[in-house]
Amino acid sequence: MDLIPLPHRTERAEGFFELGDGFGIEAGPGTEGTARWLRTTLGAATGFALPPKKGDEYDVLHLSVRPGLDTEEYRLVVAPHGVHVQGGSPAGVFWGVQTMLQLLGPDAFRRAPLPGRTWRLPLTEIRDAPRFRWRGVMLDVARHFMPKDGVLRHLDLLAAHKLNVFHFHLTDDQGWRVEIRKYPRLTEVGSWRARTKFGHRASPLWEEKPHGGYYTQDDIREIVAYAAERHITVVPEIDVPGHSQAAIAAYPELGNTDVVDTTALSVWDTWGVNPNVLAPTDNTLRFYEGVFEEVLELFPSEFIHVGGDECPKDQWRQSPTAQERIRELGLKDEDELQAWFIGHFDSWLTARGRRLIGWDEILEGGLAKGAAVSSWRGYAGGVAAARADHDVVMCPEQQVYLDHRQDAGADEPVPIGFVRTLEDVYRFEPVPAELTPDEARHVLGTQANLWTEVMEDRARVDYQAFPRLAAFAEVAWSGLPAPAERDFADFERRLAAHYGRLDALGVAYRPPTGPRPWQRRPGVPGRPIDGPPPNR
């Protein structure tokens, strides 16, 4: 049984259970959503109606929530006359059903039945539960916009790999992607740029056409509901105080008007760290409170991501307004000014029953007690945060930034950063060894990040994500041994079968032999970095 991620415990018996036209579903309390989802997906693949059935009938899939199991734990039993999926919650039942689909074979992931196909499950019992409660993927839709149907498809791919957090990077210098009704120019102006750098920021190439798009509030509601049906939490990111040129282009008063002519700024068309940051004024705070009020209405998630990374302080150093604010607040320097800015929104979100999370730069200058940290600049930020009693999501750039290249070959499209092979990702360990058990409890989980500067469409996102995201999913879900002791050969063997599932799902993954001709980008410069990445 070539399952990914690897289950905790599997017992196989001789024989199979065959599904026929009469196969139906008994959905216990709390499992109705999974039953509805199965009728749509498995029903499309098999052509079966999957009608409601009672427990005393044959050929039944029994779905039930079972007290005593952990929240996302499940038990899957395939017996000679039926199938049982029990979960500690509706989410556990859903993950058990995902395993059942893998057991049915790749064609279970198709959208229409193939003629002559028979459907059978091996007689087996599987007991399984995830290692981490935060098993996330960040998708940057600000640098290159992904239309709504692509986002929904991306959520399906996360669900198929038992990943349960979708970090939705919605704003940056290059585009504002969510409708805010109080401030219509954020999308009227901020969602479009005149042209786009093609390749790394040092590339001489440009795509000379407008690029952009945004999600209406109804689009966001649909995405959040679609994710929830798949037991995925959507965590929105609204970036402050850096990475904000698109917002400043729409509302110039948000920028440091006493340093630069913000009315001359447009949505940024290239990549890198942008010097134009938000002004630390009361007007800016009130503006973003208005933004977050609408964001909270759209996203019910516990955590709201506020960015906080890569905020150059040069404009604040030159700004009389910013310097007066530092003196007024009794702060030491610009780092503490950023900490004050982030702290304001931490208090604001806490008062509304939410929690702030930000990139590890929010540690600089002090961090509010309730805030959590996304540790991206290696492990050090996560270690420091955990030791200071802050919760942490481990997503170190050197390990799980999937925009980094997968191979050193010359055909690798727009090669960025260090080589991070499939095996490298499989041997990634989210919990730093130097943490004590008490400190390690602050590690909520782990996340892979997909920054889209050089990913112009969903096929490029597929290529960078897969198959490495399958390896990451196993790291996040399965209780694997220490990195050096992991059986990568067995993972590769199971992955050979998993490629068939990805094919059925239409995923444009990187083949193990290297990119296909149409996946290459000859002549488009990247920024490869030689040697092994720093492991810190």
Rounded Cα–Cα distance for residues 357 and 391 (Å): 9
Catalytic residue among 243, 390, 404, 498: 243
Rounded Cα–Cα distance for residues 492 and 121 (Å): 23
**Nearest partner of 128 among 166, 77, 81, judged by Cα:** 77
Torsion of CA 344, 350, 352, 353, to 10 degrees: 160
Whether residue 310 lies in the annotated active site: yes
**Residue 348: both structure tokens together:** 């604001």
**Nearest partner of 478 among 470, 493, 83, judged by Cα:** 470
**Nearest partner of 370 among 392, 353, 388, 355, judged by Cα:** 355
Rounded Cα–Cα distance for residues 126 and 531 (Å): 41
323 exposure class (CB count in 10 Å sphere: 0-12, 13-18, 19+): middle
**Nearest partner of 137 among 497, 469, 379, 522, judged by Cα:** 469
Sequence letter at residue 531: G
How far CA 159 is from CA of 87, 165, 240, 293, 473, in Å, comes to 16, 10, 30, 29, 10
H-helix or E-strand spanning residue 226: helix 217-229
Catalytic residue among 26, 72, 140, 172: 172
Whether residue 243 lies in the annotated active site: yes
* Residue 61 backbone class (left: φ over 0; alpha: ψ -120 to 50; beta: rest): beta
> Residue holding tokens 């690798």?
412
Catalytic residue among 310, 333, 336, 457: 310
Rounded Cα–Cα distance for residues 421 and 425 (Å): 6
Contact 99, 7 (CB under 8 A): yes
Show the DSSP H helices in 254-402 as ranges. Answer: 282-298, 314-318, 320-329, 334-350, 380-387, 397-400
Strands (E), 40-169: 60-65, 74-79, 82-87, 119-128, 134-140, 165-169
Q: Which residues are catalytic?
A: 172, 243, 310
